[in-house]
Structure 1
Amino acid sequence: MAVILRENVEKLGSAGDLVQVSRGYARNYLIPLKKGIEADSKNIALVEIQKKHARERAERHQREMGELAGRISSTELNIPVKVGSGQKLFGSVTAHDISDAFGRAGIVLDRKQIHLEAPLREIGTFEIEVRLGLGIKCVTKVNVVSE
């Protein structure tokens, strides 16, 4: 029996795949648990339309992430921190602080997207990598300055 998978099924296929399975497996497992639907011409056409829309959404998301990467690369952040004698920082600058600075600049980023090997503990200019997902990475400059 031909079945179109609605979600990934281990050792069988991924969502949207057209697979051949036994009637019992389809009738007793895949269809009742909404993991698959019977493959007729109407359902096949519906799945093709859904795949097309998913591709378009993925391409649009990819374009938006590319534009965001360009905005991030062109942004240079200044983060003022309190310093003591000898230009020694009180505390450190973390990914959370950098995320807040991006928010003030109008760019919303999660702190997990900002890749820091270690918190910044000194005054200076640093190049920070931002990972946006889908393999898109960009680098921005962060200036840690005294208040």
Structure 2
Amino acid sequence: MEVVLLEDVKTLGKKGQIVKVNDGYARNFILPKKLGIEATPKNLNDLKLQKANEARLAAEQLAAARELAEKLGKSSITVSIKAGEGGKAFGSVSSKEIASAIASQLSLDIDKKKLVLPEPLKTFGVHEVPIKLHKEVTGKLAVKVVES
């Protein structure tokens, strides 16, 4: 019997794959646990339409991420931190502070986990911070750290 998998099954395959299994295995395990459905022409057509819809959504998300990356590349934000003696930075600027500055200054909602900051910014000046917007798109944002 051919079955279309609705979820990943460790020994069979990935979601959306069409696999050939024994009738008993399909009737007693895969179908009752809703891990797959029988590969009828209607179900195969539904799967094809679903994959086309997912591909269209993925393309839209990629285009939106590229557009946002372009917008971020042209803009910059300013973050101020206290200065100690001799003009040295007292503290640092973390990804959480950068994310809140983006929200307030650029009116964009970007999660702090998307900021690729290996370590907090501890010096004054302009720093380029990469932002992972999509698995294929990384934008760069200029962050200006000034004395408060």
Q: Would you call these one fold, judging by a TM-score over 0.5?
A: yes
* Runs of 4+ deviating beyond 4 Å: none
Cα offset for 1:145? 0.6
Q: How many residues align?
A: 147
Partner of 2:80: 80
As a proportion of its length, which structure holds more strand? 1
**1:127 aligns to 2:124 (yes or no):** no
- Offset at 1:85? 2.4
Determine the C-alpha separation between the residues in 2 that align with 1:3 and 1:64.
Answer: 35
Please report how far the alpha carbon of residue 89 of structure 1 lies from its aligned counterpart in structure 2 after TM superposition.
2.1
Read off the aligned partner of 1:44 and give its amino acid letter: L
Q: SS of 2:91's equivalent?
A: strand
1:135 Cα deviation after fit:
2.3
Inter-partner Cα distance in structure 2 for 1:118 and 1:2? 51
Query: Aligned partners of 1:43, 1:109: CA distance in 2, in Å?
Result: 38
Query: Match for residue 113 of structure 1?
Result: 114
Structure-2 separation of matches of 1:125 and 1:10: 49
The alignment partner of 1:115 has SS state of coil
What is the percent sequence identity of the aligned residues? 34
Distance 1:12 1:74 in 2: 48
Q: Which runs of 5+ in 2 are unaligned?
A: none
CA RMSD of aligned residues (A): 1.1
The equivalent residue for 1:12 is 12
User: Is 1:146 matched with 2:139?
Assistant: no
Q: Could you tell me how far 1:72 is from its partner in structure 2?
A: 1.4
Counterpart of 2:15 in 1: which secondary structure? coil
Give the secondary structure class of the aligned counterpart of 2:122: strand
Instruction: State the alpha-carbon separation in 2 of the partners of residues 18 and 89 from structure 1.
Output: 59
- In structure 1, the partner of 2:32 is 32
